[in-house]
């Protein structure tokens, strides 16, 4: 009788432990599922905004290329025209390059946010770290290019003594290609690359932290179930 009671209690403890393990796994799954459902709704909205911004940027690019298929100065077609938006408070003036850069940046940041869950769960951690380091290099390169371009632009404006409009100034930046580049155009393009790199580095840094968090959480759950 004594041995039977001992074996019965052992069986009951094993059943209790197995039930507790299952409940912990189910709780972890339900937490992930509820979180993924909310994230999916938000990411769909962000994805729609990204697509709209991408269409706007592509429309501006197509319109400028259609009107001016060839240029003597790189980017001059993007600064020749202005779009005017009248409001009760202020009249906004946007050049095509300004609309293109803003739309492209919105496309980039909202597009990344719309796939945050996929990147944090389906891409290996090591690949996310490599992408993060790539964006660090992008930041380094285009920080230098943007600062250098600002100095060239300011120097060109000083040399012309203000005789030319600041938006029309240009210079052959590349010694290999003698085609001059418009300072307004190239500065905003470099700024776009730089800020896309900054947001990309920030984004993938967050992805890496999320991946490390979930890895630690799963390991802690597995360790607890083994101890129990």
Q: Which residue has the higher pLDDT, 202 or 10?
A: 202
Judge whether 36 lies within some domain. Answer: no
The stretch 146-158 carries a mean pLDDT of 90
pLDDT of res. 45: 94
pLDDT of res. 22: 53
Phi-psi region at 161: left, alpha or beta (left = phi > 0; alpha = psi -120 to 50): left
The pair phi, psi for residue 71, each rounded to 5°, is: -135, 145
- Collapsing DSSP to helix, strand or coil, 169 comes out as coil
Judge whether 122 lies within some domain. Answer: yes
- Total of domains in the chain: 1
Band (96; pLDDT cuts 50, 70, 90) = very high
Q: How many residues appear in the chain? A: 228
pLDDT of res. 124: 87
User: Which of 3, 174, 2, 153 shows the shortest CA–CA distance to 79?
Assistant: 153
Judge whether 4 lies within some domain. Answer: no
Q: Which residue has the higher pLDDT, 35 or 211?
A: 211
The stretch 129-152 carries a mean pLDDT of 95
Judge whether 15 lies within some domain. Answer: no
What are the distances in angstroms from CA 215 to CA 28, 96, 169, 222? 12, 46, 53, 11
Judge whether 29 lies within some domain. Answer: no
pLDDT of res. 145: 94
Instruction: Record the tokens describing residue 121, joined without a space.
Output: 């769960």
Q: Tell me how far apart the terminal alpha carbons of the chain are, to the nearest angstrom.
A: 27
Q: What is the domain extent for residue 222?
A: 42-227
Judge whether 35 lies within some domain. Answer: no
* Model confidence pLDDT, tens digit, residues 162-193: 778 888 898 886 666 678 889 999 999 999 99
* Model confidence pLDDT, tens digit, residues 19-61: 444 554 555 455 445 456 777 888 999 999 999 999 999 999 9
What are the distances in angstroms from CA 96 to CA 61, 92, 103, 165? 8, 13, 11, 17
Judge whether 90 lies within some domain. Answer: yes
Judge whether 164 lies within some domain. Answer: yes
pLDDT of res. 31: 47
User: Which of 147, 187, 148 shows the shortest CA–CA distance to 167?
Assistant: 187
């Amino acid at each position: 009788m004594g041995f039977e009671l001992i074996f019965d209690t052992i069986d009951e403890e094993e059943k209790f432990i197995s039930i507790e393990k299952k409940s912990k796994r189910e709780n972890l799954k339900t937490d992930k599922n509820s979180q993924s459902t909310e994230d999916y709704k938000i990411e769909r909205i962000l994805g729609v905004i990204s697509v709209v911004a991408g269409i706007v940027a592509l429309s501006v690019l197509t319109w400028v290329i259609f009107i001016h298929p060839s240029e003597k100065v790189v980017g001059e077609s993007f600064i020749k025209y202005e779009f005017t938006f009248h409001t009760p408070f202020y009249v906004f003036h946007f050049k095509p390059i300004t609309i293109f850069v803003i739309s492209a940046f919105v496309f980039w940041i909202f597009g990344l946010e719309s796939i945050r869950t996929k990147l944090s769960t389906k891409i290996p951690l090591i690949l996310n770290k490599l992408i993060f380091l790539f964006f660090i290099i992008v930041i380094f390169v285009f920080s230098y290019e943007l600062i250098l371009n600002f100095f060239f632009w300011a120097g060109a404006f000083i040399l012309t003594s203000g005789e030319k409009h600041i938006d029309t100034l240009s210079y052959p930046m590349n010694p290999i290609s003698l085609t001059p580049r418009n300072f307004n155009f190239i500065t905003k393009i470099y700024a776009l690359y730089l800020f896309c790199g900054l947001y990309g580095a920030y984004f993938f840094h967050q992805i890496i932290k999320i991946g490390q968090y979930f890895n630690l959480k799963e390991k802690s759950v597995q360790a607890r179930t083994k101890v129990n």
